[in-house]
Structure 1
Amino acid sequence: MMEFQIIDADYTLDDGKPVVRLFGRNPDGQSVCCFVPDFEPYFHVQAASIEGLLEDIKEIPEIKRTEIVEKYEPIGYQEHPTTMVKVVVGKPKDVPAIRDEVKRRADRIYETDIMFKNRFMIDRGISGMGWVRTGDEVVILQHGVNSDVVVTSQVSPVEVTKNAPLRYLAFDIECLVDVGMPTPDRSPIIMISLAFRPAYTGETLVLVAKKVEGDGIESFDDETGMLNRFFEIVRDYDPDVILGYNSNEFDFPYITRRVEVLEEQGKKLRADIGRDGRTVFCRKIGNTTRVNVTGRIVADALPLIRREYSIKQYTLKNVAQTLLNIDKFDVSVQQMAEYWNDDGEKLAEFIEYARRDAVLALHLMLDLRLLDKYVALAQVSGALLQDVLDGGQSSMVENLLLREFGKRDRVIPPKPDHGGRYNAPDELKGGAVLEPVRGLLKDAVVLDYKSLYPTIMMAHNLCYSTVIIDSETRVPGVIRAPSGGEFVPAEVYHGIVPGILENLLNRRTETKKMMRSADGEEYRVLNATQNALKILLNSFYGYSGYARARLYSLVLANAVTSFGRK
């Protein structure tokens, strides 16, 4: 039996069957990979004729079996559940493969776009950056995973306040430029600086693609040897968090492309730095780049600082001076060739300049505790930390809703392709905005209503599960919003969202009480937790009026703001 903190999750296939892999670290500092078998992918289907549906889909080869279940539809107060079919398939990829085929033979399909790893964590009550306990473990010898401890076992959630002793690796690259800005097709990487917490062979190291001597330096004959050493260090040090400054937009994509260029030239590189033996995966989404390294967290300090601090310039030099009061020596892009070709003082300065970049990125991330809030958001919402860093608040709200809807036997629809999904008023009317009085006023009073919209939702039992959508529904004590929406009172059916909000509010109150007697690391963890609870508390109203949400209900959103205006 062993406990460990979950850093990442995915799945693999064993003899054609999906097996969940949980990556983490235990209290002794060992990296862990736990294979969890016997969890099957599934989704729900609603049809006018269950018998007809079962007959229509019985020949679909991907379907392993079907089960008749009683479930409540996503939106609206319902006195009785609806008979639906739970469709169990063999592999996670079978769900999207047969989704459209099943949809053509049914009225509605539900939960067909939930990633398999998330489905597992939701159903098992497991959270990103949460702790789990294994059962009867079986040590795996042949697994292809880069972790200290590799086992197969079922797991269950366990409450642990502190974080595991995580490993952090910060890095930065320098490129040789002839003219203009570096491009990976023609500008080689000449240095890679690294900073470690805790230390590796030392606290810092600079890899240099030319022969040079010095403390904290390793030199190589060429770029290929230097890159291979970088990948080797990542595998050997086995960090939980790989970070940099603007690393998602520059360093990671640049390294990935340079590997491709060098391999096209016949060079041999082993770039597998994921804990599963895979390479870095970079994907451009709009104006941002998502970077994935399986089993590890990829954190870019620049966007995190942009979210938390308003400063004039977000260059590393200015950020370090403003937030850390640390000066940074700079070498301009135009000077780099001159410094690189010098074998004396300028080259030494260039190497220290590179080293400083990695050190500053590490200090920014850890000294400013940039990850604390996101770790707490993962633990509270249940989402994986990488998803919290990369995504918005809607994904965290949906994670909470999926968990609570499941407990109430209520299904959730897929995300809509276009716009909303349910009949509702055409527009969302916001809160009351009073015309300001012009001029200079004295003795102004500021009134900030604590958690106004969450309080309204709790007080009036406003929820997707309590809104009356059937005009024939007759219940005592109907709550009528000024906007026109009608909801059943808590005495008839306690809404799912009000229940979630009450739980978050109670947890925040209890957490703030615990902070009074806490200090050090425990205080910081608790403070991050209460902040995360506050963020999630204030996210549910906005989600209800978000047209791209799974649960889009303008009746609910308008009811909240109309009570607020009243």
Structure 2
Amino acid sequence: MILTRQWRDDAEGQSLIFWLATEKGPARVQISQTESVFFIAENDRHRVVKCLDGLVNWRYSEVDLKCLRSGEPCLACYFSCQRDLGFARRLLERRDISVFEADLRPTDRYLMERFIRGVAEVVGPAEEKSGYVEFINPRMRPAKQDLALKIVSLDIETSVTTKTLLSIAVHGLGRDRVFMVGEERKSEFDFLEWAPNEESLIIRFLEWFTFLDPDVVVGWAVVGFDLKYLQERCDALNISFTLGRNNSQISWRVVEKGAQRLFAVVPGRVVLDGIEMLKTATYSFRNFSLENVSRELLGRGKLIHDVDARAIEIEELHRNDPYALARYNLEDCKLVMEIFEKTKLIDFAVKRSCLTGLELDRQGGSVAAFDFLYLPQLHRKGFVAPIVDPQSVVNSPGGYVLESTAGIFDDVVVFDFKSLYPSIIRTFHVDPLAMMADDEFRIPGFLGASFSKRKH
């Protein structure tokens, strides 16, 4: 099972790095000296060469591909790293030169062109490393695998007064542990481990995490709060936040699409947030607080009495009853794990990745999933995908919505056609390639469009 995918630019060129969970343990795959690619119309060859005259480490090559919309022959432009591709793309677009398929990640293109979706077989010599095996430039091909992933649930408790960590809890793999700042005391709780200060707490937690070596980390707002807070405290204390495999640090990126969203890539491990996963799986709740969701799904909630004032109560428990705080911290981890188990969110993420080819932690991504599945097939038909002009998009009619009647009714019937869009696509053979086919057997569509019954 492919857990994470990244690319790295260095003096030797671009390398693709994949971490996989296998029956024999974690594996790291490195594909070295790869090239990033986009396509241009052959008619733009001379303009492109002139525009990119000062850019080194790129080349173009003739390919047996045409632009889907215009039918013009295309050229492939290869770059030694993704950064250069992005620079060239911006340069050409500023001069109104069309580039095709320039927004694909090199890791995704590598997998999709080999029809690898979620699970891969790695063929080649392996070298034993500390805690994993490593493959350098092996062959990767599609595979099927039913593998039980190693999962832990993570939760932290903090002080709103001192802005520091109070405790970190980890639940799963039969080894529960709570790390807490404070003087060591005798206790019947064998899962509680004391640390003299915040720095020692984090270091001991990272050691324990490396020992557990999970494939998947789950939590509640785990990226936007828990991991972000841990990263901030590590930065403040000059500690390397090596949560990834092979002592790798987290890679952070911010996506600005409406509301700002924070993403964390932990090399070799998948981080799944309970809130985002439930929304992706189309669950709906009055609110998505852990207290509310756990009560609705599990019939029980947090151990804190006043959930709305829990920040104050957490600090009081740390001072006066640290064992109660340890139980509370660990119980939050257990609630999250049980929610994932009851709703089968891990199974959902794995199945979706195997169907779409997207990462296990990818939220949304319907366009990316379409690209992953469709583009390799389109290339084998001899075409590259066109650029979508936002100005040319025409809204299609949706379903008919009845006027509502206000009031309270005893009986309400809801009619809903599940998977309506996929059904329409299959029924009418909706396919960009089918619009290009010269076929006497055509299916009429909306606004004069028609699709081929045989070529799609």
Distance 2:131 2:65 in 1: 41
Structure 1 position 355 matched with structure 2 position 330 = yes
- The answer (yes or no) to whether the contact 2:442–2:453 under 8 Å persists in 1 is no
2:210: which partner in 1?
235
> What's the offset of the Cα at 1:409?
2.4
Deviations 1:167-209 (A, max 9, x none): 112111111233xxxxxxx41101111102x23xx2x101011
2:432: which partner in 1?
464
Partner amino acid for 2:178?
Answer: V
Deviations 1:462-520 (A, max 9, x none): 3222336xxxx975345433x431325334xx12xxxxxxxxxxxxxxxxxxxxxxxxx
Which of 117, 122, 128 is the equivalent residue of 1:134?
122
Distance 1:393 1:55 in 2: 35
1:532: which partner in 2?
none
Structure 1 position 150 matched with structure 2 position 103 = no
1:37 aligns to what SS in structure 2?
strand
Cα 1:434–1:301, aligned 2, differ >3 Å: closer, same or farther? closer
Partner amino acid for 1:371?
Answer: I
- The answer (yes or no) to whether the contact 1:138–1:153 under 8 Å persists in 2 is no
Structure 1 position 335 matched with structure 2 position 313 = yes
Which of 72, 75, 80 is the equivalent residue of 2:69?
75
Distance 1:248 1:43 in 2: 33
1:292: which partner in 2?
265
RMSD: 3.2
Partner amino acid for 2:168?
Answer: I
1:169: which partner in 2?
152
TM-score, length-normalised on structure 2? 0.86
2:144: which partner in 1?
160
> What's the offset of the Cα at 1:31?
0.8
Distance 1:309 1:441 in 2: 25
2:228 aligns to what SS in structure 1?
helix
Deviations 1:71-90 (A, max 9, x none): 232337xxxx5322111121
Distance 2:294 2:278 in 1: 11
- The answer (yes or no) to whether the contact 1:170–1:195 under 8 Å persists in 2 is yes
Kindly report which structure 2 residues correspond to 1:221-232, keeping only aligned pairs within 5 A, or say none. Answer: 221-232=196-207
Partner amino acid for 1:194?
Answer: V
**Tell me, which stretches of 5 or more residues in structure 2 are unaligned?**
none
Distance 2:49 2:330 in 1: 66
Cα 1:147–1:72, aligned 2, differ >3 Å: closer, same or farther? farther
Cα 1:362–1:435, aligned 2, differ >3 Å: closer, same or farther? closer
Deviations 1:215-266 (A, max 9, x none): 1111111011001111222222221111211222321221122222333xxx
Cα 1:192–1:449, aligned 2, differ >3 Å: closer, same or farther? closer
Cα 1:476–1:237, aligned 2, differ >3 Å: closer, same or farther? same
Distance 1:368 1:459 in 2: 32
- The answer (yes or no) to whether the contact 2:444–2:450 under 8 Å persists in 1 is yes
Distance 2:315 2:406 in 1: 59
Structure 1 position 99 matched with structure 2 position 89 = yes
Distance 2:68 2:197 in 1: 59
> What's the offset of the Cα at 1:306?
4.6
2:102 aligns to what SS in structure 1?
coil
1:116: which partner in 2?
106
1:48: which partner in 2?
43
> What's the offset of the Cα at 1:107?
4.1
**Tell me, which stretches of 5 or more residues in structure 1 are unaligned?**
179-185, 264-268, 496-566
Partner amino acid for 1:150?
Answer: E
TM-score, length-normalised on structure 1? 0.70
Distance 1:431 1:262 in 2: 56
Higher strand share: 2
- The answer (yes or no) to whether the contact 1:378–1:384 under 8 Å persists in 2 is yes
Which of 226, 239, 244 is the equivalent residue of 1:274?
244
2:435 aligns to what SS in structure 1?
coil
1:484 aligns to what SS in structure 2?
helix
Partner amino acid for 2:124?
Answer: D
- The answer (yes or no) to whether the contact 2:155–2:168 under 8 Å persists in 1 is yes
Kindly report which structure 2 residues correspond to 1:301-450, keeping only aligned pairs within 5 A, or say none. Answer: 301-306=274-279, 308-330=282-304, 332-342=310-320, 346-386=321-361, 388=362, 390-413=363-386, 420=390, 423=392, 425=394, 427-433=395-401
1:31: which partner in 2?
26
Structure 1 position 193 matched with structure 2 position 176 = no
> What's the offset of the Cα at 1:366?
2.5
> What's the offset of the Cα at 1:317?
3.0
Partner amino acid for 1:339?
Answer: L
- The answer (yes or no) to whether the contact 1:48–1:106 under 8 Å persists in 2 is no
Distance 2:408 2:316 in 1: 59
1:512: which partner in 2?
none
2:425 aligns to what SS in structure 1?
helix
2:178: which partner in 1?
206
Cα 1:412–1:464, aligned 2, differ >3 Å: closer, same or farther? same
Distance 1:21 1:161 in 2: 20
Distance 1:110 1:376 in 2: 30
- The answer (yes or no) to whether the contact 1:209–1:223 under 8 Å persists in 2 is yes
Distance 1:450 1:208 in 2: 48
> What's the offset of the Cα at 1:456?
3.8
Distance 1:451 1:357 in 2: 35
Partner amino acid for 1:122?
Answer: M
Cα 1:488–1:301, aligned 2, differ >3 Å: closer, same or farther? closer
2:297 aligns to what SS in structure 1?
helix
> What's the offset of the Cα at 1:402?
2.2
1:109 aligns to what SS in structure 2?
coil
- The answer (yes or no) to whether the contact 1:46–1:106 under 8 Å persists in 2 is no
> What's the offset of the Cα at 1:26?
1.2
Mean Cα deviation higher: 220-229 or 234-243: 234-243
- The answer (yes or no) to whether the contact 1:140–1:152 under 8 Å persists in 2 is no
Aligned residue pair count: 445
2:43 aligns to what SS in structure 1?
coil
Distance 2:30 2:345 in 1: 31
Distance 2:230 2:292 in 1: 25
- The answer (yes or no) to whether the contact 2:20–2:26 under 8 Å persists in 1 is yes
Structure 1 position 66 matched with structure 2 position 60 = yes
Kindly report which structure 2 residues correspond to 1:465-484, keeping only aligned pairs within 5 A, or say none. Answer: 465-467=433-435, 476-481=440-445, 483-484=446-447
Distance 1:447 1:294 in 2: 44
Identity of counterpart residues, as a percentage?
20
- The answer (yes or no) to whether the contact 1:22–1:35 under 8 Å persists in 2 is yes
